[in-house]
Amino acid sequence: MAKLAGVSHQTVSRVVNSSPRVAPTTRDRVLAAIEELGYRPNRLARTLAGGAAQSVTVLTADTSLYGSEASLRGIEKAARAAGWSVSISVLDPDETHSDASIIARLPRAGEPTIIVAHDDAGMRARRTLLAAQPQALVAIGEYTGDHYDEPWLIGLDDGQIAAEATRYLLGLGHQTVHHLAIPTALGTEADRKSHRAEGWADALREAGRTLPPMVHSGWTISEAFEAVRPLVEDRSVTAILCGNDDLALATLRAAYLTGRDVPGDLSIVGFDNAPFSAYTTPALTTVNQDFENVGRGAFELLRHRLDSSVPKPAPAWRAPELVIRETSGPPPSR
């Protein structure tokens, strides 16, 4: 390849390993030679030859949740484009994870790692690996009190858009908005709130409205259905902001079974814009979150932390936005 492109072996190596230290015209010649010769990198041979193993391990608690699944898809696409391999290790939220058991999940010491940390298990892994290998770690998850603007964290601060969704419902004429909350990385006690719950509460306080008690749910649709049904049965409740779209789907089902018309006498707003949300009946009003590009950004940030010659990525994901569909409307006239 070097002979065909008229460059040195080192230049070919830099192009193959996606180094930015190659002139664009030179890179194009090397890529043309690679294409002509049909070269494909052999990762095993490169590792045996003493090269760095280009692999990343992703730790996550639940690959079935839309946010985690879409983030994983973004990580995998970005890694594949860079010639890296990806392995996934699922942290069972019902297990107790010691520091040793978390570290044992990595195939080798110092393995580049991305943690999708939205719950207790993810936060425990985040603390453990931040202490064990801070330079080889990136986490996706909520900011916490001690970790604002940290170089290893891509924080999903969605409180502002939750407040916007709450103000939207108040603007339709609802006297207050109830909240069906997702579990948080700090537990589900009433005094512990996700950023989504904090945004909801802040918007109600700013409007001088009654702040109803949060209704706490697990992650599954069945858990959400059992948690929200008493709330839906209360005819004084006219608007519910749900912590994600699975919880909104459970609320929509509970409304159907209790004879509540949506949105005629109950408005429902979800969160995350899962693919099914546009196809429920009625279609779900929700908040769009660009999880896939968040995953891409996490991988690129990891590469930058491992190699300072790789440019630090600028945020490329779209800001959260409210997607208004058919499950939201004015409250019923009294």
The Cα–Cα gap between 197 and 179 comes to 7
Residue 169: the pLDDT is 98
The Cα–Cα gap between 70 and 33 comes to 35
Is 134 in contact with 152 (CB distance < 8 Å)?
Answer: yes
User: Which distant-in-sequence residues (6+ apart) come within 8 Å of 230 by Cβ?
Assistant: none
Residue 168: the pLDDT is 98
User: Which distant-in-sequence residues (6+ apart) come within 8 Å of 137 by Cβ?
Assistant: 112, 113, 114, 115, 126, 129, 130, 152, 302, 305
pLDDT in tens, 148-205: 568 888 877 688 999 999 999 999 999 999 999 988 744 434 344 678 899 999 999 9
Residue with tokens 């207050």: 176
Task: Establish how many alpha carbons lie within 13 A of residue 231's alpha carbon, considering only the half-sphere containing its beta carbon.
Answer: 30
The Cα–Cα gap between 291 and 89 comes to 19
Residue 80: the pLDDT is 93
Residue 323: the pLDDT is 97
User: Which distant-in-sequence residues (6+ apart) come within 8 Å of 20 by Cβ?
Assistant: 309, 310, 311
Closest CA to 323 of 237, 248, 213: 248
Q: Which neighbouring-strand residues pair with 269?
A: 241, 285
Is 116 in contact with 88 (CB distance < 8 Å)?
Answer: no
* Angle made by CA atoms 317, 118, 247, in degrees to the nearest 5: 90
Question: Digits of tens for pLDDT over the chain (334 positions)?
Answer: 788 888 888 888 777 766 667 888 888 888 888 877 776 554 444 443 445 558 999 999 878 889 899 999 999 999 999 999 999 999 887 778 889 999 999 998 889 999 998 777 888 899 899 899 999 999 997 665 555 568 888 877 688 999 999 999 999 999 999 999 988 744 434 344 678 899 999 999 999 998 999 999 998 999 999 999 999 999 999 999 999 999 999 999 999 999 999 999 999 999 999 999 999 999 999 999 999 999 999 999 999 999 888 888 888 888 899 999 999 999 998 5
